[in-house]
């Protein structure tokens, strides 16, 4: 089993319909290739961890690198793993509104703290998510 995670920045024009299209395509390809993982999109930044057979994960990652809806695709970590960390996870999307944004950011930050960090790739993934969320927490509390 192989695990890879990356970070990227969305194009400024990326909209809700683009995100829905990304999820629809990712769900279909991931199901076909038996890939699991977790995708976080927050503050125009993507952080994703993919796991599956190496050739399949690298195939999907190549497609991700070629996708024009984001840029600065940076490989954070890749390694062999014994077991999947996200065996039952499917792609999902949640769009917080202004009334629950602080709660959403706090919950996401808490998730990064509670996560079982059993692989270096997983540590790298949650550390990057934590940085993105922490940057947002600072902005949110400065504006209150």
Q: What is the pLDDT of residues 9-47, one digit of tens each?
A: 999 999 889 988 998 898 899 999 999 988 888 788 898
Q: Which of 24-28, 98-102, 118-122 has the lowest mean pLDDT?
A: 98-102
pLDDT at residue 90 greater than cutoff 70:
no
- The C-alpha angle with vertex 69 and arms to 34 and 98, in degrees rounded to 5, equals 95
Of 84, 12, 78, which is closest to residue 45 (Cα–Cα)? 12
Tell me the average pLDDT across 79-100: 70
pTM higher than 0.85 = no
Per the DSSP assignment, residues forming a β-bridge with 37 are: 50
If one compares 29 and 143, the residue with the highest pLDDT of the two is 29
Sign of CA dihedral 63, 65, 68, 70: positive
Q: How far apart are CA 77 and CA 69, in angstroms?
A: 22
pLDDT band of 126, cuts 50, 70, 90: confident
């Amino acid at each position: 089993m192989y695990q890879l995670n990356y970070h990227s920045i969305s194009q400024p024009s990326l909209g809700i319909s683009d995100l829905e299209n990304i999820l629809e395509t990712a769900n279909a390809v991931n199901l076909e290739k038996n890939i699991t993982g977790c995708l976080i999109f927050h503050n125009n930044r993507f952080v994703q961890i993919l796991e599956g057979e190496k050739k399949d994960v690298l195939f999907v990652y190549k497609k991700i690198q070629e996708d024009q809806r984001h840029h600065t695709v940076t490989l954070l970590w890749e390694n062999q793993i014994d077991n999947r960390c996200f065996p039952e996870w499917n792609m999902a999307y949640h769009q917080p509104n202004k009334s629950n944004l602080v709660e959403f950011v706090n919950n996401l930050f808490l998730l990064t703290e509670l996560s079982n960090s059993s692989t270096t790739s997983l540590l790298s993934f949650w550390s990057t998510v934590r940085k993105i969320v922490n940057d947002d927490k600072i902005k949110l509390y400065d504006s209150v």
